[in-house]
Structure 1
Amino acid sequence: MTLPQKPLSELYRLTDLFTDYHKLTRVERFTLIPVKAHTVTLIHGGQFSIIRSSDRLLFEKQTAPALYGLTGNSHTLSYIRIYADTQCHFQLVPLEAFMQRLEDNHSLHLIPAILSWHIESLLYRDEMMMGRNSYQMIKGNILHLNQLDEFMRAKINVADFIVKRTNLSRSIVMKVLSALRAKNYIDVKRGKLLTISQLPEKLS
């Protein structure tokens, strides 16, 4: 599985259109970044986590730039919460004003790439999680973590990451990680994933 490529060029171009819209709001680590109906949340700087509202399952960890709320669907937004992992800077822009500024700047063509990326990311997650046993989910999340950039990966505890993304028990996750480390399939230091080799299809 290959992590869908984030459309950074399109996201930077869109967020740049709003640098003069309003002063950016700064939030510290562990602070909730609001998402509201008929409002686009533009995140200009920082790292953050997307959490499922019902049970705090970790959907994803992301780095700015990012934007949420393009559909204007309040039901969709009610499923998630966004928490800052580092100091973050964001803006809230009414959806109508957001779309009008894009139209005025001939930038509506940037939207499909961003929406497609969100859809591909959900399909990627389903492929990793749905109908899988515990080892397959752990393996998938190790591979996923390994594809994140080095700076971001250095801040993530591999066991915590897997537990939060799968809701598997910590004991199961630690048992699998220990077995993989013992056979030199992965190299973990101080809880951080350093390198991986070809992970086995099954853990014997």
Structure 2
Amino acid sequence: MFTLHVDDSIGDALHAFSFAHNTKPTFAIESLFNALSPAGKPFDLPQGKTYLLNPDRESAGIILLEHGICSVCHAGNDLFISSMFSPSILGLVDGYSIFYDVPARPRHYLYAETLCYGKFVPLNDFVRICDEQNLWHDVARILAHRLMVMSAREEELVGVDSYLKVRTMLIELNAYPDEYRQQIQVLSFVQRRTNISRSRVLAILSELRKGEYITIDNGKLVAIHQKLPAAF
């Protein structure tokens, strides 16, 4: 599990982002990893590639993300839902919906922000092992935590102007470990999460660079040097 780096001198610590990592149900995740890993097969997703979660019953499964960062997005409109950092359990909602044949179920996919790898556990094996080892309480803890994080994120990103959305994303990206942050193009990172136009994002980034608030090199966020303005 990576270490979160939030510098209070450059802005208020993000509630949703810091909350997500400070309250991550580590014990529940470790319990599932230990129980499910023996039934898993190697899984990898190169940076910039996508993976449709549980497209059909035959290929359905749960992913144990051992390394990397990925985004979970709606398959219908590419709307960003959340960022997932290793270690994480992926595919729980889609696995449930296909296992119980939920009508008109929502579809989601993963987008690899960095190289991602781990293990793929077939859905039937996942359900069997959770039944045998009484792991459903751990599954419930993980899902409840994600609901709380999504609620906190809505407070930050819904009903605010485009600059505040970009500001939020910059502070979040700045908190990522260097090994991950230096793999991520800041423009595409912000666009996928906010749906703000490319030209608008570029204009905001340009002004922040001119004001020496941020440094971007080869499209990657190098640093935030001072507290970002509260308004643009």
CA distance 1:148–1:10, shift in 2 (3 Å): farther
Whole-angstrom distance in 1 between the partners of 2:181 and 2:194: 18
In structure 2, do the counterparts of structure 1 residues 53 and 186 end up closer, same or farther at CA, with 3 Å as the change threshold? Answer: same
Structure 1 149/33 Cα, relative in aligned 2: closer, same or farther at 3 Å? farther
The answer to whether structure 1 residue 82 and structure 2 residue 103 are counterparts is no
Partner of 2:79: 57
Aligned to 1:42: 63
Give the number of the structure with larger relative contact order, counting CA–CA contacts within 8 Å between residues 6 or more apart.
2
Q: Does 1:185 align with 2:213?
A: yes
| Cα pair 2:51 2:111 within 8 Å, conserved | yes
Q: How many residues align?
A: 202
Aligned to 2:35: 17
1:117 to 145, 153, 156: 145
- In 1: Cα distance, 2:45 partner to 2:220 partner: 26
Q: Deviation of residue 115 (structure 1)?
A: 1.2
Q: Give me the whole-angstrom Cα distance separating, in 1, the residues matched to 2:105 and 2:170.
A: 28
Q: CA shift at 1:173, angstroms?
A: 0.6
- What is the identity percentage for the equivalent residue pairs of Structure 1 and Structure 2? 22
Q: In 2 relative to 1, CA 31–164 (structure 1 residues): closer, same or farther, beyond 3 Å?
A: closer
2:160 maps to what in 1? 132
Higher mean C-alpha deviation, range 83-92 or range 117-126: 83-92
Give the 3 Å change call, closer, same or farther, for CA 189–90 of structure 1 in structure 2.
Answer: same
Partners of 2:105 and 2:176 lie apart in 1 by: 25
Task: Verify: 1:146 aligned to 2:170, yes or no.
Answer: no
Deviation at 1:17, TM superposition (A): 0.9
SS at match of 2:96: coil
TM-score after normalising by structure 2:
0.73
Structure 1 consecutive aligned stretches of length 4 or more whose deviation exceeds 6 Å: none
Q: Hey, what's the Cα distance between the residues in 2 that align with 1:191 and 1:93?
A: 38
Structure 2 equivalent of residue 105 of structure 1: 133
- Structure 2: which 5+ residue stretches go unaligned? 1-13
TM-superposed CA distance for 1:106, in Å, is 4.5
The 1:100/1:170 distance shift into structure 2, 3 A limit, reads: same
Q: Distance in 2 between matches of 1:20 and 1:151?
A: 28
